[in-house]
Chains A and B, each alone.
Chain A
């Protein structure tokens, strides 16, 4: 089912007699698969309002992300949270939509400095599990009028309601980009260097480390954006600040720097390769230890170490429980992005928090028909469950 209007979508949900599988462009199959009837927002399209002088854009949920990016580009603006395109990693086809981006709170390398998708989301309209049309937030940048259901909807994967419209804060596109690069650092050294750069006043907007870069050597990358002179100045300051790690080189070629960060954003290193792909959110300085605890997996680091992308080859002897134990021992969480969806993608929650989340789902979707079970973890948090051990 692909309704053309919000009202039609609401009617479909109101009269639904079984589970629904909510879809935007269908390019991000994350979480436990649902066998419900497909309900797509792909026909709810169009940018409804774009005020470059107010840094505000409002679009219907099914609007292709590309359409939004083109409109922003024409005014020299962009979505600062740098949403990932999952298609190459997941092997999916289709057209990513802005609603899908919001529903999965998809954020890229700039998240470490600018914030996540949820931080740029100003308002939402959605249809809840009863078929009611609900709005929250608005189109202005500061709004504390009532509870912030906007944040709650970001990253709720269609389990609380079906997004029909989103309002976003956009930002100016900087005039130039520079990437500092150094080969040969160990994971530990790289994360130390990246953390030092992020703790500087030089406004680093990307901080990544690949265990194996284009020359098969480890490569550490730091991104700076802004006015040309400013980028060059800050690059110089950082080179001095990080001199004890080696001589970072600066690249300011627009195409090459853009490609380098698209590679990080879209998990280029793991595209087209077999094995499960995990996304681990940890305290940056904990990251090398987490990776060291998971021998057999291949990793690269974004967010100065705070985001670990992990490729677990078949037969590596690593399962969800081992991965989550390595993360859980230090604080953080692990999400299965690609792999056996039946095992559940999301981190199990401690009992009182799981109860609050379940309570919210029952309020917003009393019949449990919206993507039922999608965000359910495979096993409770503190049990000896062995469902993934097989």
Chain B
């Protein structure tokens, strides 16, 4: 993966930069020892590493602003970092950058159950937002699978989703307001406890901008009352086509499950070996979950079963208890771990129109055979967000490159059938150079024009999202 050449003039001013940062930050908020900055050399896309010039961990919005002002004046690039769980390299440093970590910003600032929001500092983890409100029976809906570790800052930067977004939406649908620092140190407030923008929807623009428009230090998040209950049904089919048709029929029937998860045979086999969830060996497994009171769940599941039976399932198992629910979810939740056990893998994140599911799975099978690398599919079928896992051997020379090549073929396929490169992980560096497959030059130009307005010197996370060649002139300027 190509990254911009570090600027020697910035490297040469490291000492001056650190001195100036010490004027506005406490000593322990600055990490410049190379042995310690190594902890920040990559995120969850571990194939790529580069220690930053220095790392700062500000403890307040004011400290963030003061530090950014200095970096802005000195022309030093800044890479904001949440918890470093990005699968797309969104927090990958360059050698001439300052990593700005929000890990010290973890406070809950306000909870308001009458108006159903929580205001937090953005270093707080996703799961601990729910943790702060669950004793009152509330939760924060977006639930990326890294939710134990990932920070709200990163969720906002990548507009994270999760398994339950079919019903509850993704981060942008649950984000009501932010306090954000622009690259020049200006602090702005967007949105709040009320709804909808008062001018142009800048909040909607910020969410998913991958840390390129500003550093979000506080967020007002919508919280919801927990449903009375939830229960899944497990449905197995002999072909992907039939499973895909079943998903479509469930959606058409007017039931809105909270999640529809899909696993294909390679994934079922791997997870069975690993977790022994008792899944049937078949071509395609669906886990469909609905919510409500017991009676409401029974009614919805009865309807789903009726639809599922029309497609002649090889297995249909409705959960009758919380133990059975846990067993049904066990395999799905351990799928990634299971894959990690047997292989190195790369997790893709393209989204496709649900109607293209059978075709895309067939093509992925063909590509997998052609490249000689196994691909297992586990994904959110209700919204078409695929997660093909490409299995490779990191110790085998050339395998990573082969895997990346297959990955980009699969993502191009997603775009070809009317989908997109990334549904919830973000572009980062991983899909940066594929952007031209989804967008024409003027489409990318329009997006880059937004960055020009928020960060005219292109100092915030500059080498991400856009193909380097297309952002070159701006980054050098």
Contact = CB atoms under 8 A, between A and B. Distances in A.
Interface of A: 51-56, 75-76, 105, 107, 111-112, 115-116, 118-119, 128, 132-136, 138-152, 154-156, 159-160, 171-175, 192, 195-196, 198-201, 226-227, 229-230, 233, 281-285, 303, 306-307, 331-333, 335, 346-347, 349-350, 352-354, 356-357, 359-360, 363-364, 375
Interface of B: 112-116, 137-138, 158-159, 161, 165-166, 169-170, 172-173, 182, 186, 188-190, 192-205, 207-209, 225-228, 247-249, 251-256, 292-293, 295-296, 299-300, 351-355, 380, 383-385, 418-427, 431, 435, 438-440, 442-444, 446-447, 449-454, 465-466
A142 B384 contact: yes
B186 to A, nearest CB: 5
Q: Is the interface of A mostly helix, strand, loop or mixed?
A: mixed
A227 B296 contact: yes
Contacts of A172: 251-256
Contacts of A174: 254
A303 B115 CA distance: 11
A333 B194 contact: yes
Contacts of B138: 199
B225 A151 contact: no
A282 B252 CA distance: 36
Contacts of B422: 143-145
A54 B172 contact: no
B17 to A, nearest CB: 25
A145 B427 contact: yes
Contacts of A360: 200, 449-450, 453
18 contacts: A51-B353, A53-B248, A53-B355, A54-B248, A76-B252, A105-B197, A119-B169, A134-B443, A142-B161, A142-B385, A145-B421, A149-B447, A151-B204, A283-B115, A352-B188, A357-B199, A363-B449, A364-B446
Nearest to A173: B254
Contacts of A145: 420-422, 427, 431, 435, 438-439
Nearest to A156: B200
B196 A116 contact: yes
B351 A140 contact: yes
Contacts of A173: 254
B353 A353 contact: no
A174 B383 CA distance: 20
A321 B296 CA distance: 49
Given A152-B205, A285-B115, 12 more contacts: A118-B196, A136-B443, A136-B446, A144-B423, A146-B438, A174-B254, A196-B114, A201-B225, A227-B299, A230-B295, A353-B199, A356-B454
B205 A363 contact: no
A149 B295 CA distance: 42
B251 A53 contact: yes
